[in-house]
Amino acid sequence: MSHTTALHGSAKEDILESLYNQFTIDDQCLFKITQTFLSEISDGLSSYGRPMAMMHVSPLYVFPTFVKGVPDGSETGTFLALDLGGTNLRVCEVTLLGDKTFSLRQQKYKVSDALKTGEVTTLFDYLADSVDAFLTDTPSQGHDSHVSHADEDSPYVPLALTFSFPVEQSALDSGVLLTWTKGFSAKNAIGKDVVKLLQDAFDRKHIHVKCVALVNDTVGALLSRAYTSGGCILGAIFGTGTNGAYVEEVSKITKLSQNPTVAAGGEMIVNTEWGGFNNSRSALPTTPYDNKLDRESINPRFQAFEKFISGMYLGEITRNVILSLIDAAPKPLLFGGRSSALLNKQWGLDSAVLSEIEEAWEGLGRFSPPAHGSPEAQTEEKLRRIQGVLAHRLELSPPDISLTDADIVRQVCNLIASRAARMSGTAVAAILVHTERARLWDHGEQSSVGLKDEGKRIGVGVDGSLVEFYPNFQTKLRASLRALVGPEVESRVDIGMAKDGSGVGAALCALVAQRQSQANHTNGAYGYDHEDIKVTPPTEVAYISSLSR
């Protein structure tokens, strides 16, 4: 491991070498993780009751063109979407323009810890109130400012719910919550239909809105990327949490052998809920810091993969490492043995701080590259920037932060984030191999003969703060992917941001729901021309939950 000139002394180098060995995963480990991923996907498609094996099917009509079962960008319509999946909830109005573009109006609302952990009816009442506030405060041509409390004879406002938690979906507008993730633990929610919870809240408050579709944010990312780019086979979230959804052949989902869907053939969108991959941790490179985080989390021994790679947990892993260096005996290795109230608090270190530290080192974001000078002078300037970040964001006294301290923290952040990015690559690689678009590469001569999409672009839509904003995250993910599937396949993988997947993907689902609703002679809606809607025979969405029963 290379160290900068700011570091001196064998004790510090020894501890950094130990951390390097614990958090660095080589190609052999990547292959093991990917092979285990493939095994769990196979289990999930063939049987129930295993990790990643509880698949549930719900009818979903999408708009297949370039890649069967996904949109082509010609769809039109105006719809509301409610997005719940992390620190904020978001209400937005999405207008699909039919030329691979869309317009968006939105408003974010804070979800407090009290709402996340209180009674579920209180949480969903807050969701309903937020939609009401959006309709009242930001009216558009799609509806007037009074529609949220219109009389019963007026058309309802259709809304799609993007709900980024594991659900057992039984219909386009019905899904039972299997478990909370991402720090949510609202009471009396597990086993309840989340669409009904939301609709009951609207009805209690006499808000004239109907939840017509339920969509996972990962499925939304896939649909959104397909809409804006013309084709996509995988949608993936690398942010507060992580998940993936991909297009699968129905014939491969052998556990559905008695389902009439199999006879119809075609494809399904499969939501893997891969945040819960390898909950046994048989293949994951666990450290004592990971074990401590898991033990103290609200869901010990669940969502294992997510706890290694997602933004919600990277800061806490880093905090655990920093505290171990502060508390080192007989002599502390950081900050002269001094901590802060923020560092002493569980979840006190946000992953955004790691990103800011790396930006300070790389000269990105608000930090310009160092001025001209010797390499030593440039290194010192970068470390002084990191000193400033640590003092401000960790609430430490500046005199307690040496340049050596800044360098140690910088290297710790880099190790933990690099591990997350490389492990993220295994999930993408596993889907490519499973869908026969790649083979695990043995570093020999590579050929794409016999693979799907031979020589063609492979569309992957991604969303989330890590993949979008964390310095070099996608570059390291790609390096991992290249090591696993080889440079020829990796070069054809088009990883693009799914532009507002949770909003646009939900809008696409709401459009389908409204078409079904019109066909059934139910209440009408607003904002789109039925002649513009193109729908071919349905595919379906299959959900694989990561949780064992």
Candidate ranges 187-196, 226-235, 361-370, 503-512; pick with highest mean pLDDT: 187-196
For residue range 424-433, list pLDDT tens digits in order: 999 999 999 9
- For residues 527-549, give the mean pLDDT: 33
pLDDT value at residue 152: 56
Please name the residues in contact with 6: beta carbons below 8 A apart, sequence gap of 6 or more: 379, 380, 383, 403, 404, 406, 407
Query: 527: pLDDT confidence band, cut at 50, 70 and 90?
Result: very low
Query: 90: pLDDT confidence band, cut at 50, 70 and 90?
Result: very high
Q: φ and ψ at 58, to 5 degrees?
A: -135, 135
pLDDT value at residue 1: 45
- For residues 244-252, give the mean pLDDT: 87
How is residue 50 written in tokens?
A: 């295993």
Say whether 66 sits in a helix, a strand or coil. coil
pLDDT value at residue 525: 38
pLDDT value at residue 256: 66
**pTM of full prediction above 0.75:** yes
Query: 408: pLDDT confidence band, cut at 50, 70 and 90?
Result: very high
> Above pLDDT 70, what percent of the chain?
83
pLDDT at 160 over 80: yes
- For residues 122-133, give the mean pLDDT: 97
Q: Where are the alpha helices (DSSP H) in 233-335?
A: 260-264, 288-296, 304-309, 311-326
DSSP character at residue 155: P
pLDDT value at residue 543: 37
Query: Across the beta sheet with 242-249, what order do the strands follow?
Result: 54-60, 539-545, 267-271, 242-249, 234-238, 458-463, 493-497
